[in-house]
Amino acid sequence: MMHLWRGVSLMLLVGILILMTVLPATATPRIRAAQVSYLTSRSYPEVAAEFARMRRMGLDTVIFRVFQRPGDRYYPFVHPQREAGVYFATDAAPVVADILGSVTTLAHAAGLKVFAWMTTLSTPLVESDAWCGRRFDPSTGRIVACEALDPFRPEVRQRLATLFEDLARYDIDGVLLQDDLVLRQTEGFSGAALGVCLRETGRMLSPAQLFPETRKDADGKVRISRLGDPFYDWARWKNRNLLQLAAEVRGAARQVRPGLPFALNLPYEVLTAPRHGLAWFSQEFSLALEADFDYLAIMAYHRQMAAELSVSVEEAISRIGILAVSGVNGIRDPAGLLLKLQTRDFVSSQDVTADELRHLMHSTERAGPVSLAFFPYHESLQVMSENVVPNRNEEE
């Protein structure tokens, strides 16, 4: 009898282990989000009313901008203390106003989760000018300063880690990293970057090796016309360093708030034209998959895509559907693919119609139960609740 019991126990243990390898440990919560870059609300009661409206529309999450860069519009309900900075308490960056706690409380009261939308390499710091990166300028053949922070400087990485620690002290439900965690084609030539490259790869690559040919276009601008053999290895090396920085700020935040979900913003090219995504932004979808983010947020902006690729809006919407299907491949749970859908034309500032938005949402259905975010959120946005699938908790 004892031998029989041991045999049954062994079979049960083997079955459990097999299930653990087949099933995900925890399902990714599916979200339907409003991504907020600006609100017209002039007071906290008006903010609360707007959050309640989002919930009535069938949305369950607000992705709220917590940074203020020069040129960004201030929230009307804020009394700014600085021209640029962040909207939470910290000693690591200028504080425009400490509003995140109040905003989070109001959103939670309305039944919304809050993802803090935060910058990395474009974060306004007192030291931004001294800590900026370097790029190759093909028009002069010289190395010049970038506007963005240098991700290879230890001071930058430590300061950003401190910022995200402070951000995580608030009762937020997640973080969306802004789309500034990129290195463009000619960026990555600071002394710090060259030193890290030499240490990690054994190579000291020059602009002449990476960009052997340039051309002058009719508009007078000098552009790269041919990439050298080592370019894509260099671009992947930059990508790995960017993802390591993302892992560091995520780890810093989770020291304060364990398990805090993180979403990584990625351009649509990483799925539609991977070599371009790697060349232009130093981002590759396959490497992002390995970085173990809770969500990969694809900027699936159909109007932008139509303009950039010279295709019709209808064709761009069809391509968003193809992009969505491609994106769920390799992801443990389709909900981990967060498609950011465009609700306003970035050039004309015209709102996308309700019919066009429904058509866009319908195009993503082939990919399964993906997450969606609507950007930019605005008061005339119409997302009817019957068209927004409930989140996982409501289904259960």
pLDDT in tens, 139-158: 999 999 999 999 999 999 99
What is the rounded distance in angstroms from the CA atom of residue 41 to the CA atom of residue 144?
41
Helix (H, G, I), strand (E, B) or coil at 68: strand
Question: What's the mean pLDDT when you consider all of the chain?
Answer: 90
**Model pLDDT, residue 219:** 85
C-alpha dihedral sign at 88, 89, 91, 96: positive
Q: Residue 77 corresponds to which tokens in the numbers above?
A: 């309900």
Q: Which runs of E-coded beta strand occur in 238-314?
A: 262-267, 295-300
Q: What DSSP assignment string belongs to 157-187?
A: HHHHHHHHHHHTTS--SEEEE-TT----TTB
**Model pLDDT, residue 3:** 52
What is the rounded distance in angstroms from the CA atom of residue 270 to the CA atom of residue 243?
15
Could you give the percent of the chain with pLDDT greater than 90?
85
**Model pLDDT, residue 351:** 93
**Model pLDDT, residue 216:** 87
Residue count of the chain? 396
Helix (H, G, I), strand (E, B) or coil at 108: helix
For the chain, helix, strand, coil in percent to 5 are: 40, 20, 40
**275, 279, 276, 288: which is closest to 244 by C-alpha?**
288
Q: Residue 162 corresponds to which tokens in the numbers above?
A: 């401190």
Amino acid (1-letter code) at residue 112:
L
- Identify the burial level of 51 via C-beta atoms within 10 angstroms of its C-beta, where 0-12 means exposed, 13-18 middle and 19 or more buried: buried
What is the rounded distance in angstroms from the CA atom of residue 186 to the CA atom of residue 117?
27
**Model pLDDT, residue 18:** 40
For 49, 306, 307, 351, the CA distances from 345, given in Å and listed in that order, are 26, 11, 10, 6
Residue 389 has pLDDT above 80, yes or no: no
Residue 125 in contact with residue 159, Cβ under 8 Å? yes
* CATH tag for 30-128+146-183+231-395 (out of 3.20.20.80, 3.30.1740.10, 3.40.640.10, 3.40.120.10): 3.20.20.80
What is the rounded distance in angstroms from the CA atom of residue 147 to the CA atom of residue 124?
10
Beta bridge partners of 371: 338
* Average pLDDT rounded to a whole number, residues 184-212: 96
pLDDT band at 62 (very low <50, low <70, confident <90, very high): very high
Residue 108 backbone phi and psi in degrees, to 5 = -60, -40
Q: How far is CA 230 from the centre of its chain?
A: 28
**Model pLDDT, residue 102:** 98
* Average pLDDT rounded to a whole number, residues 234-246: 98
**Model pLDDT, residue 26:** 57
**Model pLDDT, residue 233:** 97
Q: Which residue has the tokens 């069809």?
A: 318
C-alpha dihedral sign at 103, 105, 106, 112: positive
Query: Which of 52-66, 67-81, 218-232 has the weakest average pLDDT?
Result: 218-232
Helix (H, G, I), strand (E, B) or coil at 388: coil
**Model pLDDT, residue 329:** 87
**Model pLDDT, residue 17:** 39
- Domain map of the chain by residue range? 30-128+146-183+231-395
Q: Which runs of E-coded beta strand occur in the chain?
A: 32-36, 61-65, 67-68, 85-86, 113-118, 132-137, 142-149, 174-177, 213-216, 222-226, 262-267, 295-300, 337-342, 371-375
What is the rounded distance in angstroms from the CA atom of residue 354 to the CA atom of residue 156?
43
**Long-range contacts: 321-325, Cβ < 8 Å, 24+?**
321/363, 321/364, 321/366, 321/367, 322/272, 323/268, 323/271, 323/272, 323/298, 324/300, 324/363, 324/364, 324/366, 324/367, 324/370, 325/366, 325/367
Residue 386 has pLDDT above 70, yes or no: no
Residue 1 has pLDDT above 60, yes or no: no
What's 74's DSSP letter? P
Q: Residue 199 corresponds to which tokens in the numbers above?
A: 């240490």
What is the rounded distance in angstroms from the CA atom of residue 111 to the CA atom of residue 104?
11
**Model pLDDT, residue 383:** 65
Query: Which of 10-24, 166-180, 315-329, 348-362 has the weakest average pLDDT?
Result: 10-24
For 16, 55, 102, 225, 314, the CA distances from 99, given in Å and listed in that order, are 47, 21, 6, 47, 40
First to last CA, the chain: 41
Q: Which residue has the tokens 């920085």?
A: 245
Helix (H, G, I), strand (E, B) or coil at 373: strand
